[in-house]
Structure 1
């Protein structure tokens, strides 16, 4: 009689990495990956999007449409990581998640920002750990912010952000938009200190080793003498969010945690909890982003 498999979650995640590097799989490993991966086919499907033809075999162009505005984002196709990606991650002490896909929390962040333009109008805004920059680009195109900085610590990701800003420059009106390579543990940030009215970020609290630096850079970047806030969208993911919020409190910042912050997002969440084929392994703890509003006072 064949023994049942008892692989741990960590070993299955290593198997995902092995597949990306060796470009091969069998039906058994595909089933394991589907069981352990939380990646959605369409996420919350809050912003209409469709694939556009791309000339590069490793890249895809996705057109996001809201109202009369269209944004074109170039990104990597699925399962297209290579060894160089991980070498760069090790060199810069960064994670590689920004290259993997457009994560569902980023879509929720973009939708939330689009729905509340008054929150950003005339403000200086920075997105941290932005990946391909969907939320930052939506803010630039839909809210009349005075400036939007779209940042990430991975130089490969920042190159994609620059391309995406250039591709959509006609959509930004008078808003200044730029990309920035920003590491949360950077020592010299004098030109950015107390600069921003609003910080936005999605799914940036998963890796606990980055919590202290992330809390610190929020305090550095937010304006000190004027009303300012950071808007984070993050699933609980075990105790990772709780540990991040402890760092926020320990550094002297204040936060409000909200579970039901938008009726449409909440309706999608309830549908996935009850069971939906578009997200068959949906789990509230790992998939549903909570809203964290962080302030200095």
Structure 2
């Protein structure tokens, strides 16, 4: 029996006969199913976020595991956490079947290598404190299933994201996230709306985790890593928005805070030096809100 993601779409059986404008419209319109699938999976994503935060708050790592398109999307989500939220690189592992070269050239046969998944996770010393995000559109990829089973044996938290409800990955993962996107407009091409749904769910899940870990104040990205001129301008703007200070004052505070936005905000709001501001933040468990309100860790 064909998986839902592999079944022929009934919407556009003559896709190749469409005019180019109609072809573009058909491909674009089909993507709306991806968003609806993520919205339907919201309760599972919320549970995944809450359970992940429990582990990560105690020092666990985020580990992404996938193959092909799913693996590349996992790597993309993971590597963006450093500049966006200053997530420590030593607390991030991104694994794709076939290794780093598979990011740039398809290595489809690698997804069948069950032993490689265990070997990859062993090499990175996966342990019970970690959070594994396992990705497979089909939910049947041997590399991903083997890695998820290994994570379960170690006591790590396993979150499985698949586009086929009832798939082996969703039955195996401790927190299953079913993204029911159905058949693709180009039959079987899960780089389309199945991939879009995975990208949205990863954005949603990792962002929610980072909010809960105090990387966001209000809706301001206050824990970004300033690594270029654009991000320096963004850090300055965020500091001004959070404090109401003049740009000149904010820039002085950022300089003293070594471009740490949270520290600069506490300095300006509480009239403290950079070392004192860092101490207040540490006492508040890294929560800018708690630091400003004097509430201690939250």
Same fold (TM > 0.5): no
TM-score by length of 1: 0.36
Instruction: For CA contacts below 8 A with separation 6 or more, give which structure has more relative contact order.
Output: 2
TM-score by length of 2: 0.36
| Structure with greater proportional strand content | 1
